[in-house]
């Protein structure tokens, strides 16, 4: 009876032991998201970037992303999750999702940041967003979908995800499912933040 109990206990504990063995010792400054699991298939690491197109720190961090990706060619699956705070509008996020669907997500991202921070335009304005869409070749259907709120539900889902992952500031990265880090962890020094992200990723991708 005792042997049977021990065998059953080992079967129950085995998945936890396998999981523990598969999760490496993570270096760098981060917090583990409660209720979320570490996920890495040995091939690619998913990085979810929660950002706001109104966020100056997010705009500054974009300069670091090519260097981060360049350190891990074909090893990162980078996903943007646009959110907004306070008096911001969900419309820039909706515009991004429409562009992403058309294969122009990166172009829209850059155009939104430029419009807000360089050209000082109101990116919450549908007219401004229509102009940006035209600049990157989105076409007339972009305007129709933007005005009809075709991606409003997706923008709302992104905000719900931010609450689910306990996002308190942007940009925040969720790496490999449950590793959260943001510029606060690096004293808001963007060079240190970039290096911290690299340290975390290097400890996962051997």
Asked whether residue 78 is domain-assigned, the answer is: yes
Asked whether residue 11 is domain-assigned, the answer is: no
Number of other CB atoms surrounding residue 197 within 10 Å: 26
Question: 């515009």: which residue's tokens?
Answer: 95
Hey, what long-range contacts does 56-59 have (CB within 8 A, 24 or more apart)? 56/117, 57/169, 57/170, 57/171, 57/183, 57/188, 57/190, 58/113, 58/170, 58/171, 59/113, 59/116, 59/117
Residues 193 and 154 placed together within one structural domain of the fold? no
The helix, strand and coil proportions of the chain, stated in percent and rounded to the nearest 5, come to 55, 10, 35
105 burial level (CB within 10 Å; 0-12, 13-18, 19+): middle
Handedness of CA 59, 36, 204, 107 (dihedral sign): negative
pLDDT of residue 49: 98
Total structural domains within the chain = 2
Q: What is the pTM of this model?
A: 0.87
Contact 57, 171 (CB under 8 A): yes
pLDDT of residue 5: 34
Asked whether residue 186 is domain-assigned, the answer is: yes
Residues 149 and 182 placed together within one structural domain of the fold? no
Q: Range of 113's domain? A: 89-158
Buried b (16+ CB within 10 A) or exposed e, 60-73: ebeebbeebeeebe
pLDDT per residue as tens, the chain (206 positions):
433 333 333 333 333 333 333 567 999 999 999 999 999 999 999 999 999 999 999 999 999 999 999 999 999 999 999 999 888 899 999 999 999 999 999 999 999 999 999 999 999 999 999 999 999 999 889 999 999 999 999 999 999 999 999 999 999 999 999 999 999 989 999 999 999 999 999 999 98
């Amino acid at each position: 009876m005792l042997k049977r109990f021990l065998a059953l206990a080992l079967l129950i504990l085995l998945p936890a032991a396998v999981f523990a063995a598969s999760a490496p010792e993570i270096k760098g400054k981060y917090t583990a998201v409660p209720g979320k699991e570490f996920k890495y298939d040995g091939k690619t690491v998913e990085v979810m970037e929660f950002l706001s197109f109104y966020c100056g720190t997010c705009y500054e961090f974009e300069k670091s992303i090519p260097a981060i990706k360049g350190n891990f060619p074909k090893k990162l699956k980078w996903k943007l999750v646009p959110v907004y705070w306070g008096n911001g509008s969900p419309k820039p996020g909706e515009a991004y999702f429409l562009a992403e669907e058309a294969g122009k997500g990166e172009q829209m991202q850059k155009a939104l940041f430029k419009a807000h921070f360089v050209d000082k335009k109101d990116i919450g304005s549908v007219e401004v967003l229509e102009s940006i869409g035209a600049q990157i070749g989105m076409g007339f259907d972009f305007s129709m979908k933007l005005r009809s709120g075709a991606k409003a539900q997706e923008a709302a889902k992104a905000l719900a995800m931010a609450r689910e992952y306990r996002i308190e500031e942007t940009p925040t990265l969720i790496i490999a499912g449950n590793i959260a880090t943001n510029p606060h962890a690096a004293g808001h020094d963007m060079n240190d933040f970039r290096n911290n992200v690299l340290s975390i990723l290097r400890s996962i991708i051997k």
